[in-house]
Structures are given as C-alpha cells and as structure tokens.
C-alpha cells in the first residue's frame, strides 16, 4: 500500500475473490478456491502454515456438515475462514508478544505469472500495518479494500452490521495510508535500488549506502531467537548504515556472499548464502525512490520456503 494513494488505485488490478464466483458443490472443486482462501487467511494472520490450517479446517467443517450443496461456496468458505481467523488472531497475538526480537510475516511465494508487477496487498510493509489493526478492522479492510466485497457482504461474513464494517474499514484505511505522501514504486525501481544497496554494503561504501536510504530508514531483523539478529529495530540513517556495513564486512572476511533473487510477498527480494547456506532474505519498502524500510528474515524456519525458489544472480 502506498500511504496517501487513493484506495481505488490501490485495489486496481488485485485478484478478487468475487471475480470468478461460481456455485461449487464437490470436494474436488474446493481446490479451485484454496489459493484465494489461503491468501485471505495469510493476510489476516501473517503465517502460511496458520493460513493453510484454517482453510483445511473450513473444508473439514463442510464435510462434517454432511457435504451440503452450497448456494455460494466461495462466500460460505470465506465466512468460515474469516471467523476462524478472528478466533486465531488472539492466540497469534499472544505468541508474537513473546517473540524474541522484531517479528516479520512469514515469506509467501508467488506464482511465476504474478511476477510481472508488484502486489502491494501482500507487501511486508502492509502486513506489518495490518498486524497493528484490531481483528475486526483487518477483516473488514481485507475483505472490502483488497478482495472487493461490499459492506453488506462483509457484514454477513464477519457477523456485524454494514455500517459498523464501514467504520472499521475506514479506521483501518487511515492506519494504512499514514501521514506520508509516497510515490508508487515499480519492479525495475525495486531491482535497481536493491542492486545499489548490495553493491554498497559489500564494498563497504558508506556514502553509496547513505544515498539509497531515507533519513528515517528502519531496519527489521527477524531472527526469532534462533540466530544472531538485532533484538530491537535499528532506527535512522546513521545507525542503519553503521550496522549494515559492520555486519556485512565481518561476515565476508573469510567467505564471500552469494546473492540469489527470489520473488516473495509481491516483490523482488534477495537471499544471501554463506558457504552454501542460506542465512538471510532481504526485501525493501521504497519511498520516493529510496529505501525507507529494510526487512531481513534470519529465522531459519521462515527462510526454508525460499530455498526452492531462489535463483543465482551475483557473487
């Protein structure tokens, strides 16, 4: 999401659950819905395994009900998933309060066909904003602003009145937009600035690194207590540049990094290998052509899904 950008522009081009609404009555046809349902649950929870568990639970509930013929299977499954997510958010929030260091949403891979343009609806920056919303705010926002349901339908799915859902979505939208006016990024800009970032940190070029970062840049390093990582957010240009140069220079003293590209969370990213072991995954939030946020996954459990998709690009 680009704060300050009209919401109609933001949702333009996003995949809509409603766009292919069909009456489906068999278990096999449920598979046609699975991807979209997982996408909704992932946006609600920030975890692929949790999203997949919720979707599977929804299917089990249909089976336990005697496999009834559904007038609108998509809406029925989405209603079940939404309410299961609203229940799950409470336990997920408790787990994240106990998480060691900054938490980042688990990377989610995209199909090859989706890699031609950015998908802001699953960007890490937006996912972190959604994480700060109340459960009902995030449900109303995702259903209406991302998946295109009207508020009467949203109300039916989450069990609230349409006017209440409209208020929830408006509050969520205000959080998402924030105070800054930002110009939209594109794939080539992300790749160009990402290349400049890694060239600077590998060369230890402080001036070049400062050139690609904003003054108020924030560095998130998610190690989950399993590997070394900053236990707090690193804030500001001076602190972030010093931290990054020191980390990269220390790590490269004996072995050079190998960089590989991988598309996750709707944008190009880069994974770093050291001695043939994936040690981190980087992605960036751009503001007016510079990096405003650096997201670094270090938790091995979150890196595992990226290993199958990474492609060598540079050493």
Q: From first to last of its 315 residues, what are the pLDDT tens digits of the chain?
A: 333 343 333 333 333 344 333 444 455 667 778 989 999 999 999 999 999 999 999 999 998 988 888 888 888 899 999 999 999 998 888 888 899 999 999 999 876 555 668 898 999 999 999 999 999 999 999 999 999 999 999 999 888 999 999 999 999 999 888 755 566 788 999 999 999 999 999 899 999 999 999 999 999 999 999 998 999 999 999 999 999 999 888 877 767 778 899 999 999 999 999 888 899 999 999 999 999 999 999 999 999 888 766 665 544
| pTM, full prediction | 0.85
Superfamily for the 7-177 domain: PhyR, sigma-like (SL) domain (1.20.140.160)
CA distance 71 to 74: 9
Q: Which two tokens stand for residue 22?
A: 């069909």
CA distance 120 to 185: 10
pLDDT at position 256 is 77
pLDDT at position 12 is 33
pLDDT at position 313 is 55
Pairing between β-strand 213-222 and β-strand 277-287 as defined by DSSP bridges: unpaired
pLDDT at position 175 is 87
pLDDT at position 6 is 38
pLDDT at position 24 is 43
Pairing between β-strand 277-287 and β-strand 311-314 as defined by DSSP bridges: unpaired
CA distance 202 to 187: 23
CA distance 135 to 204: 43
Q: Are 217 and 145 in contact (CB under 8 A)?
A: no
CATH number at 187-314: 3.10.450.50
CA distance 302 to 220: 14
Which residue intervals of the chain are DSSP H helices?
A: 7-11, 27-45, 48-64, 73-97, 124-131, 135-141, 151-158, 162-177, 187-203, 206-212, 237-251, 300-303
Residue 98, φ and ψ in degrees, nearest 5: -100, 0
Q: Are 150 and 144 in contact (CB under 8 A)?
A: yes
Q: Is 269 helix (H, G, I), strand (E, B) or coil?
A: strand
pLDDT at position 15 is 34
Q: Where are the domains of the chain?
A: 7-177, 187-314
């Amino acid at each position: 999401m680009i704060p300050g950008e009209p919401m109609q522009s933001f949702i333009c081009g996003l995949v809509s659950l409603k766009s292919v609404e069909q009456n489906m009555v068999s278990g096999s046809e449920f598979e046609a819905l699975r991807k979209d349902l997982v996408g909704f649950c992932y946006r609600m929870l920030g975890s692929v395994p949790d999203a997949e568990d919720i979707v599977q639970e929804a299917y089990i509930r249909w089976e336990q009900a005697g496999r009834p013929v559904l007038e609108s299977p998509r809406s029925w499954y989405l209603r079940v998933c939404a309410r299961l997510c609203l229940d799950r958010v409470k336990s997920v929030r408790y787990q994240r309060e106990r998480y060691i260091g900054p938490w980042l949403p688990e990377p989610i891979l995209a199909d090859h066909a989706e890699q031609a343009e950015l998908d802001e609806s699953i960007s890490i920056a937006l996912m972190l904003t959604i994480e700060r919303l109340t459960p009902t705010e995030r449900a109303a926002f995702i259903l209406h602003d991302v998946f295109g349901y009207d508020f009467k339908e949203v109300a039916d799915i989450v069990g609230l009145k349409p006017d209440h859902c409209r208020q929830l979505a408006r509050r969520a939208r205000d959080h998402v937009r924030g105070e800054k006016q930002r110009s939209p990024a594109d794939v080539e800009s992300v790749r160009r600035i990402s290349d400049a970032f890694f060239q600077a940190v590998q060369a230890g070029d402080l001036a070049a690194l400062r050139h690609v970062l904003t003054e108020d840049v924030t560095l998130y390093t998610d190690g989950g207590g399993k590997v070394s990582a900053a236990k707090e957010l690193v804030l500001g240009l001076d602190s972030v540049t010093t931290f990054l140069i020191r980390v990269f220079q220390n790590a490269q003293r004996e072995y050079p990094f190998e960089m590989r590209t991988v598309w996750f969370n709707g944008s190009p990213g880069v994974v770093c290998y050291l001695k043939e072991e994936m040690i981190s995954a980087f992605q960036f939030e751009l503001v007016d052509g510079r990096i405003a946020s650096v997201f670094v996954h270090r938790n091995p459990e979150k890196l595992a899904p990226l290993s199958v998709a990474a492609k060598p690009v540079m050493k």
